[in-house]
Amino acid sequence: MKRVAEKVVVVTGGARGIGRACCLRLAEEGAAVAVTDMLDDEGRAVADEIAEAGGRGDYWHLDVTDESEWERVLTDVSSHYGGVDGLVNNAGVAGINKSTENIALADWEHVMNVNINGVFLGTKHAIPRIRERHGGSIVNLSSIYGIIGAGDVPPYHASKGAVRLMTKNDAIAYAREGIRINSVHPGYIWTPLVEGLGRRLGYDADGFQQELGGRHPVGHVGEPDDIAWGIVYLISDESKFMTGSELVIDGGYTAW
């Protein structure tokens, strides 16, 4: 029996990076996966890759900051697959990397809009669907930067700290309905988000990987599958006694 057989899971930001790995691994373990993103070509390619491997996956365009799109997509996914059992609130942006006194309000709000409002809207609209199935699992992508400070990307830290506590509060509120909600806290994972951050700081890819690797006790950065397998666990019934928890997958970053 595959680990998430017969579950229907919606993944946001599924076209690239951690979200893409998550879609592929969930499908491999038997889930029907709704790959969603704003990058339509890359998102469709992930759904095609799932189908080519013999899994079930389709692509939907979804900007997580748009409430009407959430309503439309969850209605479509639900009628296409017969319900929704899980949601991975993965879409996120790194945002502006300046000291707090130099950040324009609009740049601050952009990060809050995607990283916090996106999680709020997804949770709000997925809960009634998951309730129809008498329970399920929501996974929110926070970060090591939702646990400790690093002195950079102030709005990102604020947004990921908020996601951590939104997760715990919603976990308590919905626990008796069998709806589990947990957060995942990756260390640095080599994805387009991190590559872009390095470019903006003037590093080449190798130099940035080395610099970041040194910040982790294991001596290197992680790869998207390191996080995807944790998410498969949280979506699966293997984690049925786990809610309101923070799954830290960080190569020891927060253990220093």
Ligand X SMILES: NC(=O)c1ccc[n+]([C@@H]2O[C@H](COP(=O)([O-])OP(=O)(O)OC[C@H]3O[C@@H](n4cnc5c(N)ncnc54)[C@H](O)[C@@H]3O)[C@@H](O)[C@H]2O)c1
User: How far is residue 43's CA from residue 23's CA, in Å, rounded to a whole number?
Assistant: 10
Residue 16 C-beta: closest distance to ligand X, Å: 4
Among this protein's residues, is 156 annotated catalytic? yes
Structure-block tokens of residue 120: 């709020």
Quick note: the x/- pattern for ligand X over 31-60, rule CB under 6 A, is: ------xxx---------------------
Q: Is residue 92 within the footprint of ligand X (CB under 6 A)?
A: yes
Q: Is residue 64 within the footprint of ligand X (CB under 6 A)?
A: yes
26, 46, 77, 114: which one contacts ligand X (CB under 6 A)? 114
Q: Is residue 91 within the footprint of ligand X (CB under 6 A)?
A: yes
Question: Tell me, what DSSP letter sits at residue 32?
Answer: E
Per residue, the 3-state secondary structure of 72-102, as one string, reads: HHHHHHHHHHCCCCEEEECCCCCCCCCCHHH
User: How far is residue 213's CA from residue 208's CA, in Å, rounded to a whole number?
Assistant: 8
Q: Is residue 65 within the footprint of ligand X (CB under 6 A)?
A: yes
User: How far is residue 49's CA from residue 53's CA, in Å, rounded to a whole number?
Assistant: 6
Residue 95 C-beta: closest distance to ligand X, Å: 9
Quick note: the x/- pattern for ligand X over 180-209, rule CB under 6 A, is: ------x-xx-xxxx---------------
